Structure 1
Amino acid sequence: MLMRQPCPDLQFAYALPFGATPSATGTQFSVFSRSATEMRLLLYNKVNDREPAQVIDFDRDTDRWGDIWSLNVPGLEPGQLYHFQASGPWEPENGHRFDASARLIDPYAQALAGTYQTGKDGLVRPPKCVVVDHSFDWEGDRHLRRDMSETVIYEMHVRGFTKSRTAKVKAGGSYLGVIEKIPYLKSLGITAVELMPVHEFPIRDPHGKKITRPNYWGYDPMAFFAPHRGYAHSSAPGAQVVEFKQMVKALHAAGIEVILDVVFNHTCEGNENGPTLSFKGLENQVYYILSEGQHYCNYSGCGNTINGNHPVVREMIFHCLRHWVHNYHIDGFRFDLASILSRDRSGNLVPNPPMVELIAEDPMLADTKIIAEAWDAAGAYQVGSFGNHRWAEWNGRYRDDARGFWRGDGGTLGPLATRLAGSSDLYEHAGRPPFCSINFITSHDGFTMNDLVSYKDKHNDANGENNNDGDNHNISDNYGVEGPTRKKCISTIRGQQVRNMLATLLVSQGVPMIVSGDEVRRTQKGNNNAYCQDNDISWFDWRLVDKNADLMRFVSGLIQFRKNQPTIRRKEYLTGRPVDGRKIPDVSWYGADGSPLHWDQGALAMTAYIAAPSRLDDPEGLGRDLVMMFNSTGDNLEFELPSIGRGAIWNLFVDTSAPSPNDIYPEVDGPVAPSNRIIEVGRHSLKIFVCNASLS
């Protein structure tokens, strides 16, 4: 009888059909090009070599199979550096832009090395591709498979997280630097990091010069399969592959999932005036959406648009996702400007786009989280209607409604209640559960939480675009002074508003996303579009961890409470009806006086009574009834505890108007609500009470 033998170090890997594949006898090189007339492989000995040590021509008769050019080079090992070079028609009017002199990055390159160079002939040489061996001791690491409803996302920039000297790490600004700060992430309590783009993007411009306004964020892809070399601590070719895997393994060991922000909507090759670095020189008319056969459609706002629903490009995207999941153990993806994936080859938005459905149904991605930024730069806005139940979405409506309510905007009470309850208006009609809503109030794109309450207007002068870049619709306020102030009254209300919004975010149904540094009031000095600020404007200032330790305590306490409370992370929508034999509804809304809320009165104060979930959703019976009292007015108000809460003992959990440490009671052992049920809620503040036992 055959017995199954454990083999903890043997991991499932995903072999790519194209690119450079090493074997015991050599390396196989395969690349797609339908219209090329000749193909060459350029091999280099060193990163700084401007000219190849060897050029190998593909034989049209023996090395071409259909539209795939493929040859095996004996003796070549991992670490080998290479480019492709393709000859073909130069017919821009027909979509062809072949340049026989261009050195081309392999679309399936798994690592890049070096940077742009200029040869004696004045031609640009892009970074070199690296042959990669994916052997790595994962020590049994697997995807964590945490339920989406239990997820708390932390959006962060790999470099910016530890690049500041204040981080005091050995490998600042790198994958290894993230590892050094894992204890901090664990103390905060988040369950997943969402990394801003880590696939390769340009460090210098095509002419070898330092970019005046570098794309620090990384939304400028150059090689989708390759981890960014700029985040590696070692400069050795391919070091980024190993260091990235070390980071993922360490995060998993700490119970933290890794979600990648992927940009399958454009590339760094730009429009007709942009450089030929890869896709343009191999099969331009296939990889990009073109207008009139020659002009680049710009639905991304970045010069070109990936032709995501072309079968060849669709296949590349699938191979890329599987590659990151199975070769790097990635737990999920956030798709930047995902609405572009809903456009056909002519750029038209189509219902039930095949690309979106196939990603959701791909069996090799079944363990992953998939999140859409459900809009694009050409006006498509699909929040609430993107894909099926597998797709979660960045909920831009949540951001706007939460900001508006806490700023005191009229007509925002009802919208806030809807967002607090899971945004059923957006997702329920399509059979999508509350955790399809990724709730956020801030993201990398816009003000930080500190700046949201410190600036009425954006201050992007450092970007060099005369403050014309960035969104003008910020739904922000400065409460009397633009920017930093020593006025205590203004500082106090700003602190309360930060707590109000973070608390609201973390007790809402759906999945909360926090931006790195918001938990300690990181500032970008009013810059709401810091895409090009690779400096202190964007970097995490670790001195703030001590300076604002009280806010850090507040946020970590809320995250821990969320983990413990199934009441605020339901998998089904609140209905306003009794459930599981209880006499009280799962959610009830009241005015400050304890009477049923009248939504049309334009009030800015309300009480939400949320009952514990049924035993079906909470088999261990951990859920507790909650009372949340919201006061966005400029006056202190007396709230009356709803009558359905009469007879129970209610402990204060959060009071955003109270100074630390009385702003939160992490053990839910705060003062008991007064017997007369009258509770004062300070202006611009929130109070949350927890029942010490569920009512029947």
Structure 2
Amino acid sequence: MPDRFVTCGFSELRRAHDGLEGPRQPNQASDSRSDLYMLMRQPCPDLQFAYSPPFGATLTEKGVQFSVFSRSATEMRLLLYNKVTDREPAQVIDFDRGTDRWGDVWSLHVPGLEAGQLYHFQASGPWEPENGHRFDSTARLIDPYAQALAGTYQKQTDGVVRPPKCVVVDGTFDWEGDRHVRRDVSESIIYEMHVRGFTKSKTAKVKAPGSYLGVIEKIPYLKSLGVTSVELMPVHEFPIRDPQGKKLSRPNYWGYDPMAFFAPHRGYAHDSAPGAQVNEFKQMVKALHSAGIEVILDVVFNHTCEGNEQGPTLSFKGLENQVYYILSEGQHYCNYSGCGNTINGNHPVVREMIFHCLRHWVHNYHIDGFRFDLASILSRDRSGNLIPNPPMVELIAEDPMLADTKIIAEAWDAAGAYQVGSFGNHRWAEWNGRYRDDVRGFWRGDAGTLGPLATRLAGSSDLYQHAGRPPSCSVNLVTTHDGFTMNDLVSYKDKHNEANGEDNNDGDNHNISDNYGVEGPTRKKAISTIRSQQVRNMLATLLTSQGVPMIVSGDEARRTQKGNNNAYCQDTDISWFDWRLVEKNADLVRFVSALIDFRKNQPTIRRREYLTGQPVDGRKVPDVSWYGPSGDPLNWDQGELAMAAYIAAPSRIDDPEGLGRDVILMFNSTGDHREFHFPAIARGTQWNLFVDTAAAPPEDIYPDVDGPMPPNNRIVEVGRHSMRIYVCNAPPK
């Protein structure tokens, strides 16, 4: 049977409590706090907490309550449709200003309606662009709180904008006791993926390609790889192709073009029935949780698909334009997002909407965390100025209903704000763009990158420690969806975005990449060998760095975008995961899986505190020490890009089970083979080779950490453009 739902209000908690305990007696106390306490103690496994946003379409016992905010509208209408394909509404109901308006909220109950009902809002009001008002009484408007959409953005053949229709949703779902995974962020290994692209290719061989259900079919692969979290590129609603199959002017395959924040994208549902995406999305989350995998959503609270003055009126513009967007001189759209407009995130009404949205995804969809796209926009006030201690950022961190939730910022925006290392408090993690650039630069052989690599490897204390933030605030990455794939990073010097139709003018020109002699694919063995080593070098560095690693889907199998570093509009095999690569590059998949497993089992490389260079637990060995190839302490002023890091096992306080082992990482980014001498502090113990990126598979990695021991003289050769990892075969004494 479906779970019973408990909503966030005390009145609903009382009703749920009455259903469990029987009706309250006439003289029985009705204190809501004691009701909540008693409810929490009920041994009722099918009782499920849910969150009810105050606006949108809410099912009641007798119909549906429709509520929408608009301060400046003079009239509001509800348009009801019978079918998704209907161009015109079957019924239009006017809100009565006297009885259906409460402050700035228009609220109307329509009896007899059920889940699945299709609707739009329509608002009349002033057309005064110079004062920020853009009401259009003919526009059909998407409910900002709509929980599902159906249909497409239809072509304006008669001048009328027809966006997808909103769907009244019944949120009942049998979660079967599912809860958030609640893994500590320091133990996370994040896998960024696109729901459609993950299984859309025929090579995926799934029954439901390109869908939420398709992801479920590939969970065994995710488990075998060992990742702990999937970070899904945007799944809230965004525009898709119209019924004639023609693309929108700037089709957004990635999904960074939001249309309805509360609704899972209909384009990723296998079933085409209105609202089917709601249940399918929940099925995916429940299945991932059952496999121990968390779900993090990439959310885009920085702009919408309505664009600037030339863009269509689909929702926010037609309800309260001057509230939802940051405007310049009261009329022009500020473009801090680079996408035409900017959401007014620190306006109280918009701030409230974002909070309701986050809580909705956490408690109604069991989402484990969020990555905030262009999060620096949340640090801008209503005039667009960056402000210290922005209330939106602080409130997200402190919201008790999000306390179990991971929050990750892309701590920059398209207007020059760059806040890596200074975004929010200890609750906020960040995509560490400095990590990406420094690791790429070191392995490419850029001068002056030895010290920066060491800093990134040790957890980026220069960015986070001063604010009392732990290493887990650094989400380490070498690649993301935005830019080259790992394969292309070592195969192309320049971007090749010709297929995007923008004359290769789009995308970043600063990629810190190399092709090692030939642009693109090659059959030259020497070039292929160095590329293979560099892929392994960067993945091994990523997965042995302090902080939280993030891998982009397909990098573990050398997925290529053919040199395209901005495939935002490529719903083609350029973007799709080619599953033949998993078999073709099985040795690399094995390499990554073994590194992930090592990271999970080795607290030495995923500390919760920063390395200090001081001895641990009275041992003579510092928690980290740095050496040159000679085995002597490292001269940081040397021009040579070669060094070794000795990382000692953590203290028993941080590692009560005593699983930690001392680890030595040897890096050689020069073009020559180099002899590395084990430092004196490592000569009294036994070591086994774990990784050698210069060796041919399967000797590039020893999953059981049982590789060859170093020779008696403790001198080993580290190949050019390669790294080695040795692990002490006994716990520290």
Using structure 1 for the length normalisation, give the TM-score: 0.99
The structural deviation recorded for 1:120 is 6.8
Match of 2:394 among 343, 348, 357: 357
Q: After the TM superposition, which residues 169-248 of structure 1 pair with which residues of structure 2 at under 5 Å, given as runs? A: 169-204=206-241, 209-211=246-248, 213-248=250-285
Contact 1:308–1:341 (8 Å) recurs in 2: yes
- Given the alignment of the two structures, is residue 63 of structure 1 paired with residue 61 of structure 2, yes or no? no
Match of 1:616 among 632, 650, 653: 653
The structural deviation recorded for 1:584 is 1.1
Alignment partner, residue 670 of structure 2: 633
Contact 2:154–2:242 (8 Å) recurs in 1: no
Contact 1:126–1:206 (8 Å) recurs in 2: no
Q: After the TM superposition, which residues 471-550 of structure 1 pair with which residues of structure 2 at under 5 Å, given as runs? A: 471-550=508-587
- Given the alignment of the two structures, is residue 283 of structure 1 paired with residue 320 of structure 2, yes or no? yes
Cα distance change of structure 1 residues 432 and 332 upon mapping to structure 2, 3 Å threshold: same
Report the 3-state secondary structure (helix = DSSP H, G, I; strand = E; otherwise coil) of the residue aligned with 2:430. strand
Contact 2:238–2:260 (8 Å) recurs in 1: yes
Cα distance change of structure 1 residues 43 and 679 upon mapping to structure 2, 3 Å threshold: same
Contact 1:309–1:343 (8 Å) recurs in 2: yes
Structure 2 CA distance, aligned partners of 1:500 and 1:119? 52
Partner deviation per Cα, 1:375-404 (whole Å, 9 max, x = no partner): 000000000000000000000000000000
Structure 1 CA distance, aligned partners of 2:357 and 2:344? 15
Match of 1:329 among 363, 366, 371: 366
Structure 2 CA distance, aligned partners of 1:487 and 1:673? 32
Contact 1:118–1:208 (8 Å) recurs in 2: no
Match of 2:351 among 311, 314, 319: 314
Q: Which runs of 5+ in 2 are unaligned?
A: 1-19, 22-37
Structure 2 residue identity aligned to 1:464: G
Alignment partner, residue 55 of structure 2: 18
- Given the alignment of the two structures, is residue 48 of structure 1 paired with residue 82 of structure 2, yes or no? no
Contact 1:115–1:204 (8 Å) recurs in 2: yes
Alignment partner, residue 301 of structure 1: 338
Match of 1:679 among 716, 721, 731: 716
Partner deviation per Cα, 1:439-458 (whole Å, 9 max, x = no partner): 00000000000000000000
Report the 3-state secondary structure (helix = DSSP H, G, I; strand = E; otherwise coil) of the residue aligned with 1:124. coil
Partner deviation per Cα, 1:5-48 (whole Å, 9 max, x = no partner): 43222210001100000011110000000000000000001000
Structure 2 CA distance, aligned partners of 1:30 and 1:443? 39
Report the 3-state secondary structure (helix = DSSP H, G, I; strand = E; otherwise coil) of the residue aligned with 1:595. coil
Alignment partner, residue 382 of structure 1: 419
The structural deviation recorded for 1:675 is 1.1
Structure 1 CA distance, aligned partners of 2:608 and 2:368? 20
Structure 1 CA distance, aligned partners of 2:183 and 2:162? 44
Q: After the TM superposition, which residues 328-477 of structure 1 pair with which residues of structure 2 at under 5 Å, given as runs? A: 328-477=365-514
Structure 2 residue identity aligned to 1:472: N
Partner deviation per Cα, 1:127-184 (whole Å, 9 max, x = no partner): 0000001000000000000000100000000000000000000000000000000000
Report the 3-state secondary structure (helix = DSSP H, G, I; strand = E; otherwise coil) of the residue aligned with 1:654. strand
Using structure 2 for the length normalisation, give the TM-score: 0.94
Kindly, what percent of the aligned residue pairs are identical? Answer: 87
Structure 1 residue identity aligned to 2:553: S
Contact 1:94–1:293 (8 Å) recurs in 2: yes
Alignment partner, residue 689 of structure 2: 652
Alignment partner, residue 113 of structure 2: 76
Contact 1:50–1:119 (8 Å) recurs in 2: no
Report the 3-state secondary structure (helix = DSSP H, G, I; strand = E; otherwise coil) of the residue aligned with 1:11. strand
Report the 3-state secondary structure (helix = DSSP H, G, I; strand = E; otherwise coil) of the residue aligned with 1:247. helix
Contact 2:421–2:463 (8 Å) recurs in 1: yes
Alignment partner, residue 109 of structure 1: 146
Alignment partner, residue 10 of structure 2: none
Report the 3-state secondary structure (helix = DSSP H, G, I; strand = E; otherwise coil) of the residue aligned with 1:628. strand
Partner deviation per Cα, 1:326-373 (whole Å, 9 max, x = no partner): 000000000000000000000000000000000000000000000000
Structure 2 CA distance, aligned partners of 1:204 and 1:675? 66
Report the 3-state secondary structure (helix = DSSP H, G, I; strand = E; otherwise coil) of the residue aligned with 2:574. coil
Contact 2:152–2:241 (8 Å) recurs in 1: yes
The structural deviation recorded for 1:121 is 3.5
Structure 1 CA distance, aligned partners of 2:156 and 2:202? 37
Contact 1:499–1:656 (8 Å) recurs in 2: yes
Alignment partner, residue 704 of structure 2: 667
Contact 1:648–1:695 (8 Å) recurs in 2: no
Alignment partner, residue 172 of structure 2: 135
Alignment partner, residue 94 of structure 1: 131
The structural deviation recorded for 1:695 is 3.8
Structure 2 CA distance, aligned partners of 1:279 and 1:695? 61
Structure 2 residue identity aligned to 1:150: E
Cα distance change of structure 1 residues 119 and 405 upon mapping to structure 2, 3 Å threshold: closer
Structure 2 residue identity aligned to 1:65: W
Structure 2 CA distance, aligned partners of 1:649 and 1:222? 59
Structure 1 residue identity aligned to 2:126: P
The structural deviation recorded for 1:633 is 0.2
Contact 2:190–2:231 (8 Å) recurs in 1: yes
Structure 2 CA distance, aligned partners of 1:212 and 1:345? 29
Report the 3-state secondary structure (helix = DSSP H, G, I; strand = E; otherwise coil) of the residue aligned with 1:125. coil
Alignment partner, residue 256 of structure 1: 293
Contact 1:655–1:662 (8 Å) recurs in 2: yes
Q: Which runs of 5+ in 1 are unaligned?
A: none
Report the 3-state secondary structure (helix = DSSP H, G, I; strand = E; otherwise coil) of the residue aligned with 1:117. coil
Contact 1:567–1:624 (8 Å) recurs in 2: yes
| Two-structure CA RMSD over aligned residues (Å) | 1.3
Report the 3-state secondary structure (helix = DSSP H, G, I; strand = E; otherwise coil) of the residue aligned with 1:116. coil
Cα distance change of structure 1 residues 208 and 94 upon mapping to structure 2, 3 Å threshold: farther
